[in-house]
Amino acid sequence: MVENVIETEKLTKFYGERCAVYRVNLRVTKGVVYGFLGPNGAGKSTTIGMLVGCLRPSYGRVKIFSLDVFKHRIEVMSRVGYLPEKPVAYRNMRLEGFLEYMGRLEGLTRKEAREKARELLEFVGLGRLAVKKVGTLSAGERQRLGFAQALIGDPELLILDEPTSNLDPVARFEILSKIRLLASEKGVTTLISSHVIPEVGRVSDYVGIINNGSLIAQGPISDLIAQEEDEYLVRVSDPERLATRLLERDYILEAKFEGKDGIRLRVDVNNAHKLWVELPEVLTEEKLALYGFKPVGDPLERLFLRKVGVA
Ligand code: ADP
Ligand code: MG
């Protein structure tokens, strides 16, 4: 049986009359990286606040490791590493001192805490700043420190609220690959929220998409995008001729002209392989010269945009 590390049932949160989260049933299975995606204001941080026991649900339940978070908060949270959207830290402490202190709070001995702090500062790329004061860090460095802080107790479950929002593209890539590494090497289950879809798609196995407080899609990425459409950009010597021939086929959903020699094709994903076979045949039959052929965009991002009603 698949074990759910996080399981919520009809999780709902009202702020006064405003409904921020509505009947959300999250399922996060053991060992996966789960991308919790949604535009700004969708309800990600509110949901996460309820997962970690900081916010009380208006209705519904949260179970982590099969335990009710509100009845067993200390026990549950001792096995969870949490990076809040706006990490807080003691401004006047040095980075290594701060992490060591956090390690002590997690029950490590002084020596263990010191070693762990050094190791984690290296891991998140802050090794050379170990003796700097927390208050002098940039937003991105602060986020890295928060990531280290979330890892100090060797958690089985990591909950990261927009861990890459203040990072530049290189740093994002670095942190996301560390998250992937923790999952594959240590089996750490991870929930990571974000509004940056393609990059989270690359490291996640599962996604849940939230919009206006409701979970509108959830499942393995491969299943979700299997129902999507593929898009390709083809450049040829006579785009009109090619479009006429391709539109005879059912799996070509749309062909739009782009530039002087381009056609943008929307293709049924389940039959996309046919295009790869038949396009060269048509080109030969019609004696067309091919200048370029490439997939366009990211299927997960397209799914997201369609689900939230933008595309
Ligand atoms: P996200 O993290 O996806 O950007 P949030 O969970 O922070 O979204 O917010 C969801 C909605 O709830 C937003 O409309 C936000 O304005 C509202 N909200 C969040 N926190 C509060 C609060 N403490 N009081 C009132 N409204 C809030
Ligand atoms: Mg948020």
Domain shared by 183 and 83, yes or no: yes
What 3-state class would DSSP assign to 90? coil
Q: Kindly indicate the confidence band of residue 240, based on its pLDDT and cuts at 50, 70 and 90.
A: very high
- The answer to whether residues 237 and 163 belong to one domain is no
Number of domains within the chain: 2
- Least distant ligand from the CA of 44: 1
Closest CA to 157 of 37, 9, 4: 4
Cβ–ligand 1 distance for 42 under 6 Å, the answer yes
pLDDT digits (tens, 9 = 90+) for 244-262: 999 999 999 999 999 999 9
Looking at 174, 202, 221, the residue that finishes a domain is 221
How many other C-beta atoms are found inside a 10 Å radius of the C-beta of residue 273?
12
pLDDT at 311: 58
**283-301: buried (b, 16+ CB within 10 Å) or exposed (e) per residue?**
beeeebeeeebeeeebbbb
The reply to whether ligand 1 has any atom less than 6 angstroms from the CB of 211 is no
Phi-psi region of 244 (alpha: psi -120 to 50; beta: other; left: phi over 0): alpha
> Do 247 and 154 have their domain in common?
no
Do 301 and 199 share a structural domain?
A: no
Atom number of ligand 1 nearest to Cα 21: 10
- CA atoms within 13 A of residue 255's CA, in its CB half-sphere: 20
Residues 209 and 259 in one domain: no
Closest-lying ligand to the alpha carbon of 49? 1
pLDDT exceeds cutoff 70 at 1: no
CATH code at 11?
A: 3.40.50.300
Q: What is the mean pLDDT of residues 104-125?
A: 95
Length reported for the chain: 311
Its domain, for residue 157, covers: 4-221
Q: CA-CA distance, 272 to 229, in Å (whole number)?
A: 9
CA of 41 to the centre of ligand 2 (A): 7
Helix or strand holding residue 145 (H, E): helix 139-151
For residues 212-219, give the mean pLDDT.
Answer: 94
Q: Is the CB of 46 under 6 A from ligand 1?
A: yes
> How many angstroms separate the CA atoms of 269 and 301, rounded?
15
Pocket test for ligand 1, best of 12, 14, 15 (most atoms within 8 A of CB): 15
**CATH number of the domain encompassing residue 279:** 3.30.70
Give 21 Cα–ligand 1 centroid separation in angstroms: 9
**Model confidence at 310, in pLDDT bands (50, 70, 90)?**
low
Look at the block and give the residue holding tokens 């861990």: 163
Which of 165, 193, 221 lies at the terminal end of a domain, its last residue? Answer: 221
